[in-house]
């Protein structure tokens, strides 16, 4: 979910330069594929340079090449769409935003992609995305207000939220006992952590971990002041006596196994682990009151798409209340589809109930400053 390395970004930039050299893609004509009665999309370019497309509600203009993360959509939804619209959906999967970016930059024709928040900004800046035709999205009103605009896409012109998740704390209520507070103090304040029956697990992720410490100190997790970051480093060092492990892979199991009393981690993994635990009632997942991380994956249509209208139809299909609920009931992530909420399993709803009220922030790409988070986390751990 996070930019894995500077190198990847550098390489992506290199690809872009090369791709731009021989760019003959007019972004204009859209060929019709398949023998279906389809119409050709009208594609234009606005004065700002963003490519736009004019589609009707439910219009299709060919089969859909859907490029998504693995195990992120219910296969039944795919077949339902195919039946309803009479087109084929060809699914492909990627394992990192960076690999997806590189593929699009070299012109591989995908029609719909699901990039994470920070990647949407990069793709908008590189003019790789169509400006969406909201008139073709009859169900756009179902999208919850708070997900329509985000810092990475200020007007919501290029992306529609797909699913979201948060980073917070999984708590073993019995082990924590009376020391329970809805705060990052559960991992950072030795006065509190010393009372637990067991240690705590903290993510081994520069942005998440330094971000949590910054939040606890009252700063934004996107803060780029080095003095603040030094304070955060000191905070983690002082808390280290009760931190059993810095870990991003096993924390959910360690929590439900009773090996740690509190675990810092991602909502998606926590919900599964707690749901499968022997005594689910003994565990809660909380978002600290100081603020926590929100990540959002989004649907977007690349300019290399040959079926931008089918892609619009698919986005609209998922924005439907029932389909949106099916999606979340299958993958257990938070749904940005407000109309779908009444149809979603209670278990998932409970889990994401405090998202609306919590003080959440999306991690923004800080460019050259990113390396400092990595360095300081290493320093804090040493």
Partner 1 sequence: MNIAGVRPKSPTERLLAANAWVVYAFFYAPILVLIVFSFNANNNVGIWTEPSVRWYRDVLSNDAVLNAIKVSLIVAFVSTIVSTVLGTMAALSLERFRYRGQRAFDGLVYLPIIIPDVTMAVMLLLFFAQGFQWLDAAIGWRPSFGIGTISLSHIAFNISFVAVVVRARLGQMDPRLEEAAADLYATRWQAFRRVTLPLIAPGVAGGALLALTLSLDDVVITSFVAGPGTTTLPVYVFGLVRRGVTPLINAVSTLMLVASMLLVAISLGFQRSSRSRVTALGEEQA
Residues that bind partner 1 (CB under 8 A): 1, 7-8, 11, 14-15, 18-19, 22, 24, 65, 67, 69-72, 75, 90-96, 99, 102-103, 106-110, 249-250, 252-253, 256-257, 268-269, 272-273, 275-276, 331
Q: How far is the CB of 340 from partner 1 (least distance, A)?
A: 20
Q: How far is the CB of 244 from partner 1 (least distance, A)?
A: 16
- Output phi, psi for 250, to 5 deg: -110, 0
Cβ closer to partner 1: 219 or 246? 246
Q: How far is the CB of 311 from partner 1 (least distance, A)?
A: 13
Strands 260-266 and 360-362: unpaired
Cβ closer to partner 1: 14 or 226? 14
Where residue 291 falls (left for φ over 0; alpha for ψ -120 to 50; beta otherwise) is left
Cβ closer to partner 1: 305 or 337? 305
Beta strands in 287-375 (DSSP E): 292-299, 360-362
Beta strands in the chain (DSSP E): 42-45, 51-54, 64-69, 89-94, 112-113, 160-172, 199-202, 243-246, 260-266, 283-286, 292-299, 360-362
Secondary structure of the chain: what % helix, strand, coil (to 5)? Answer: 45, 20, 35
Beta-bridge mates of residue 112: 66
Q: How far is the CB of 152 from partner 1 (least distance, A)?
A: 19
Cβ closer to partner 1: 207 or 376? 207
Cβ closer to partner 1: 12 or 171? 12
- Cα Dmax for the chain: 69
Q: How far is the CB of 305 from partner 1 (least distance, A)?
A: 11
């Amino acid at each position: 979910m996070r930019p894995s390395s500077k190198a990847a970004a550098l390489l992506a930039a290199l690809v872009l330069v090369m791709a731009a050299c021989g760019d003959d893609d007019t972004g204009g004509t859209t060929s019709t594929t398949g023998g279906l009665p389809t119409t050709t999309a009208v594609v234009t370019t606005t004065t700002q340079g963003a490519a736009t497309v004019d589609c009707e509600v439910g219009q299709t203009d060919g089969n859909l090449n859907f490029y998504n993360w693995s195990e992120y959509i219910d296969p039944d939804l795919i077949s339902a769409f195919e039946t309803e619209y009479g087109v084929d959906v060809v699914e492909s999967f990627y394992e990192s935003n960076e690999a997806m970016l590189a593929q699009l930059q070299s012109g591989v024709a995908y029609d719909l992609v699901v990039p994470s928040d920070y990647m949407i900004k990069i793709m908008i800046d590189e003019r790789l995305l169509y400006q969406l035709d909201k008139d073709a999205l009859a169900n756009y009103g179902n999208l919850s207000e708070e997900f329509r605009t985000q810092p990475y896409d200020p007007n919501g012109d290029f992306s529609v939220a797909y699913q979201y998740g948060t980073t917070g704390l999984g708590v073993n209520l019995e082990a924590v006992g009376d020391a329970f507070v809805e705060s990052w103090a559960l991992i950072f304040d030795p006065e509190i952590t010393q009372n637990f029956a067991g240690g705590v697990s903290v993510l081994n992720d520069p942005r998440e971990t330094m971000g949590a410490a910054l939040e606890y100190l009252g700063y934004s997790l996107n803060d780029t002041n080095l003095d603040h970051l030094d304070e955060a480093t000191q905070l983690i060092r002082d808390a280290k006596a009760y931190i059993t492990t810095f870990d991003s892979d096993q924390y959910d199991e360690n929590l439900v196994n009773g090996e740690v009393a509190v675990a810092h981690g991602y909502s998606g993994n926590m919900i599964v682990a707690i749901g499968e635990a022997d005594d689910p009632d003994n565990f809660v997942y909380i978002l600290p009151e100081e603020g926590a991380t929100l990540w959002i994956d989004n649907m977007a249509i690349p300019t290399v798409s040959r079926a931008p209208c089918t892609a619009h139809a698919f986005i609209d299909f998922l924005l439907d209340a029932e389909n949106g609920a099916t999606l979340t009931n299958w993958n257990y992530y938070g749904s940005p589809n407000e109309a779908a909420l009444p149809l979603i399993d209670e278990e998932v709803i409970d889990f994401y109930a405090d998202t609306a009220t919590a003080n959440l922030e999306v991690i923004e790409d800080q460019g050259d400053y990113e390396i400092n988070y990595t360095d300081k986390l290493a320093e804090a751990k040493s």
